[in-house]
Every structure is written in structure tokens, then in C-alpha cells.
Amino acid sequence: MRILLIGYGKMGRTIEQIAKQRGHEIAGVIDVTNHDTLSSYSGANVDAAIEFTHPESAFKNVAYCLQNNIPVVCGSTGWLEHFAEAKAICEANNGAFFYASNYSVGVNLFFHFNEYIASKMQAYPQFKVAVKEIHHTQKVDKPSGTAITVVDGIVANYPAKEGWLLAPEQADEKISIISERIGNVVGTHVVRYESDNDTIELMHDAQSRTGFAEGAVMAAEWLQNKKGVFGMKDMLNL
């Protein structure tokens, strides 16, 4: 498979290594130094694009791919106010679009268990729920896209909650997200239910970027010959 890498930071380089290990060809690499060359790629010379850039560029990159017959896997976060528009572009062009805030198989199992726990904890309002995320100091958006996905999973299964606030802001109906940037932390996410008597925690702690990169390449492989908008629940059948 010919893979176009859009974004060549730490994740892009790790994805390149994993893709080559899995027998794929890197059709090209797009970063801030040569972004103007993106226009030379289309479905004629690329089988899939994997996009990990920044919030301000992600939507334009995704839209370009969808408008030029390139199935695109996107892992950029912080741009989801444009997600509905990206979905509409995908549908208008009969394209293939795969989005996840986190491509780790372990994290997506974490999402699954988070939703189950929330569905049970809604019966016990004495437990106050909060989410904490920790990432490396180079991560731009705050809170992380993964933390927002975690909150979305809670809200969908806990009717008394609606949305989130970034700590230290608080409101009874909102879920507080504590967001920290420390050293080279790859990514830690914790869901905490606390009452006066006890505490329940669900945690995922990433040890390296390899799991994210493997998931992104797996998504590009899975997306071949498909049309529509997909996510990790589709690929993992959760």
C-alpha cells in the first residue's frame, strides 16, 4: 500500500517505521517545509494518507484528501468544530475517512470500559466524576482529544452530565477535566469517581507512541475499499 504521511513530527516518524515494517511504501511526506507539494498527490498515486498535524491545518488536509480520492486516516485533535463539515465533504465525494482521537487499541478498550462504568455509576450520584489527562509539554491542545472522547463516553451514558469544563472551573452538571503538561509523558488518562467513603479509578497509561502508530497504520489498511466515515469502534467491532 502507498501511504502519504501528512505531518512528520514524532508520530509521523513512528508511523513511517511501522508502515515500512508492515511492508508498505511511503509515497511521500508532507510537513511545514513542503506543504505546497500536497497538490501533487491524489488517488492515482496514493492508496491512503495518514494525517497527524496541528488543529489549524488538520481540516484543510483532510478536505484535500477527500476531494482528491485519497482515503484519509486522521489523528489530529483540536479541530472537531469542523468535523461535521469534513463528514459532509466525505459523503459528497463518496470518500473514505477514518477519525480517532487516539489510535491505541488499549485506549479504545479503555473508552469501551469507561462507557460501561458510566452507565452503572449514574445510579450512585454520591460519587463525583472527574477526568485527568497528562501529556508532554509539546502537546498544543488542552484538554486532549482523548480526554474529550472520554467525557463524551460518560455523558452518553450518564444523563445527569452534559459536557465538560477545564479545571479549576466547575459546575454540577459538567465534568471537570484536569489537564497537565509534564516532561515527555506520552499520555495518561484517568477517570475518577469519588465519594466521601471511597474512590474508583479507571486509568490508561501509554508507555510509547508505537501503539498509536500501529493503530493508525492498521486503520489505513482496514479503510481500503471502504466508503464512508469510520472510527476505532468500527475497526475493533466494539
DSSP 3-state assignment of 133? strand
Alpha-carbon gap, residue 134 to 125, rounded angstroms: 26
Q: Is the pLDDT of residue 118 over 90?
A: yes
Res 102: pLDDT: 85
Alpha-carbon gap, residue 113 to 111, rounded angstroms: 6
Each residue's pLDDT tens digit, 140-165 = 788 988 899 999 999 999 989 989 99
For the ranges 43-52, 203-212, 227-236, the lowest mean pLDDT is seen at 203-212
Alpha-carbon gap, residue 141 to 126, rounded angstroms: 32
- CATH fold of the domain at 105-206: Dihydrodipicolinate Reductase; domain 2 (3.30.360)
Could you give the residue numbers annotated as active site? Answer: 135, 139
Alpha-carbon gap, residue 3 to 24, rounded angstroms: 7
Res 139: pLDDT: 85
pTM for the whole structure? 0.78
DSSP 3-state assignment of 200? strand
- Return the residue matching grid coordinates 482521537: 101
Question: Taking residues 87-94, what's their average pLDDT?
Answer: 98
Alpha-carbon gap, residue 10 to 14, rounded angstroms: 6
**In the chain, where the domains are located:** 2-99+210-236, 105-206
Mean pLDDT of the chain: 94
- pLDDT confidence of 216, banded at 50, 70, 90? very high
- pLDDT confidence of 206, banded at 50, 70, 90? confident
CATH of domain 2-99+210-236: 3.40.50.720
